[in-house]
Amino acid sequence: MNKTALRNILGEIPLAAELDWMLRRKDLNRRDHFQLNRLEKTAAEARLTAEKYAHPTASAKKILFFCTLHYWIEQSAYIALVLASQGHRVTLLTLPYSEWHKKLDKFTQRQRILHTHAALKPLTPFVDHVSMLEFNPQLELPSKLIEDVKEISLWDSQYTLMREEVDLADPSDRAVYELRLQRNTRAARTAFAWMKDNHPEVVIVPNGLILEMGVIFRVARFLGIPAVTYEFNDQREQIWLAQNSSIMQQDTDYLVEARCNLPVTEGMYEQVADLENARRGARVWGKSKRLWQYISAQGEQSTRKMIGLDSRPVVMLAANVLGDSLTLGRDIFASSMTEWMTRTMQFFSKRPEVQVAVRVHPGETLVPKAKSMAKVVADAITDLPEHIHVIGAADKINTYDLIEIADLGLAYTTTVGLETAMNGRPVIVCGETHYRGRGFTLDPNTWEEYWGELEKVLADFPGHRLPENKIEKAWNYAYRFFFEYPRPFPWRLMNFWDDLALWPLGKVLGPEGQAQFGDTFRFLIGEPFSWKS
């Protein structure tokens, strides 16, 4: 009998996990990645602070706040305290996993439930806590939710494997999919039963696209319950929010309707230009430590020489990272980004009158297990012709030099497509991305339309350069997306405890914090978006 099997047996024995927890919980730091110790140490004081600022409100809402993985639970606990201090009735529904793609023995899982209860106990009754794993739901799922669970489980598999091809005939791929299907089904049944019994007025979920987070969002929407999802970009003190859609889908229709008809001032142009120049210069920008490029722009002539480009027109294809959650569920006419890339490369392999520069996303260097888009190109064309050039993720080429060189940009969902249009180049957008259909890109809906758009642009590059009014639209949208779509928020997910030191709970709940972040917390519970003048 192996260790896992033994721990599964121990997990079935009543009070075995509880007794071991009482006797040996001091070893938790050493033995388990799932850690809420800092939350447990600070929760009581945090609750007292929140209670100090608590005030009733006539518009109090009954809120279900779902969180999983230990770092989401830590941050969610503090967000819940803010909402509770504003008079709302908040229930934290937790799922104490730290590995979404690995099986866990029953004994360890029961101890994680105990650890989560201990960490969140000081918050009660100010904030209620319910552990999802302590439910044994009896309700069967409607067929619509069964299909939702299957779709999310496939996306989870792509996200875990970091590739689009999931071969259910392959034992290892099948194991990943079956585990996600099992966990997602249980989460859906639990959430479905809980929401039907308790009738929350709003559901708050991180991400809202993949894993159990996507499942909870789908259940809420199936039941007609308003749902708010959120995620974080690279900037400190910012949050992305979406109401009744997954934030990872980046639905900006409401932003366009409310803001893009407004003029862009000189100061707004300067803000966008400052951001673009930082990326072009491989510098960090604002309150971020992220580098979007690993080398500064070298200029058109130097870049042409390094790549080996001649005077023929250049088509730049900007790739995404395979399996990134910003690409999942974004297909329009291609079945996957891989199929789009494959067929596009095969098309251009027979068009030596133009040169193609494939920019592999620099982000691939951060996820080495992901299938590289360079491999997709190699699989599509066995013998790469001289007019197709693949720029690797770590190659010392700046994407913004490629934008200046390009006569045409091709994009799936990457924001490089938006930035290419800002530089006056025509862009064909082939995935469901936030800037598609905003009046400055070419947006085919079928393969036939795609090939037709390509042929038209290839036949007349100068005639497809963007006129000033479309370039202005692109800059207007860029300002709204980069500067108005994110909302002020004190605590990002990553480096949460560092952010909490800069913005302690009392400061957030006090006049300074409410002046800066008060609106965002109201948007978080579903109040309509608005903008300060």
pLDDT digits (tens, 9 = 90+) for 477-523: 999 999 999 999 999 998 999 999 999 999 999 999 999 999 999 99
Whether residues 311 and 394 fall in one domain: yes
pLDDT tens by residue, 57-89: 888 999 999 999 999 999 999 999 999 999 999
What residue type is assigned to position 353 of the chain? E
Whether residues 221 and 315 fall in one domain: no
Whether residues 296 and 226 fall in one domain: no
Whether residues 385 and 453 fall in one domain: yes
pLDDT: which is higher, 110 or 205: 205
Whether residues 236 and 287 fall in one domain: no
Please give the average per-residue pLDDT across 276-304, as a whole number: 90
Q: How many domains does the chain have?
A: 2
Q: What is the DSSP letter of 494?
A: T
Residue 398 has pLDDT above 80, yes or no: yes
Whether residues 36 and 128 fall in one domain: yes
453 inside domain: yes
What confidence tier does 437 reach under pLDDT thresholds 50, 70, 90?
very high
CB contact set of 393 (below 8 Å; sequence gap of 6+)? 360, 361, 362, 363, 364, 365, 372, 374
- Specify the pLDDT at position 189: 96
C-alpha angle 420/426/429, rounded to 5°?
A: 80
166 inside domain: no
Domain that holds residue 512: 3-139+200-255+487-524
Whether residues 81 and 135 fall in one domain: yes
Task: Quote the tokens at residue 119.
Answer: 């960490």
Give the domain CATH number at 386. 3.40.50.2000
Q: How far is CA 196 from the centre of its chain?
A: 28
Neighbours of 162 (CB within 10 A): 17
Whether residues 308 and 402 fall in one domain: yes
pLDDT tens by residue, 23-38: 666 555 546 678 899 9
Q: How far is CA 477 from the centre of its chain?
A: 20
> CA dist 403 to 112, 317, 399, 432, 479, Å?
49, 10, 6, 21, 19
Whether residues 50 and 90 fall in one domain: yes
180 inside domain: no
> Is the Cβ–Cβ distance between 87 and 56 less than 8 Å?
yes
Whether residues 227 and 350 fall in one domain: no
153 inside domain: no
Q: Which helix (H) or strand (E) holds 62?
A: strand 62-68
Whether residues 328 and 443 fall in one domain: yes
**pTM, full prediction:** 0.92
Please give the average per-residue pLDDT across 164-172, as a whole number: 93
> CA dist 421 to 105, 428, 439, 475, Å?
52, 10, 10, 9
Task: Quote the tokens at residue 8.
Answer: 């599964």
Print burial letters for 112-128: b (CB count within 10 Å at least 16), e (below 16): bbbbbbbbbebbeebbb
> CA dist 228 to 69, 194, 240, Å?
19, 18, 10
Least confidently predicted of 40-44, 370-374, 408-412, 488-492: 370-374
Strand, coil or helix: 331: strand
Residues of the chain with pLDDT > 90: what percent?
79
Please give the average per-residue pLDDT across 397-416, as a whole number: 96
What confidence tier does 391 reach under pLDDT thresholds 50, 70, 90?
very high
d(CA 45, CA 39): 10
56 inside domain: yes
d(CA 347, CA 458): 12
Q: What is the DSSP letter of 437?
A: T
Whether residues 281 and 366 fall in one domain: yes
155 inside domain: no
Q: Across 148-295, where does the E strand assignment appear?
A: 202-206, 227-231, 238-243
- Specify the pLDDT at position 98: 81
68 inside domain: yes
Average model confidence (pLDDT) across the chain: 92
100 inside domain: yes
Sign of the dihedral defined by the CA atoms of residues 443, 338, 148, 370, in that order: negative
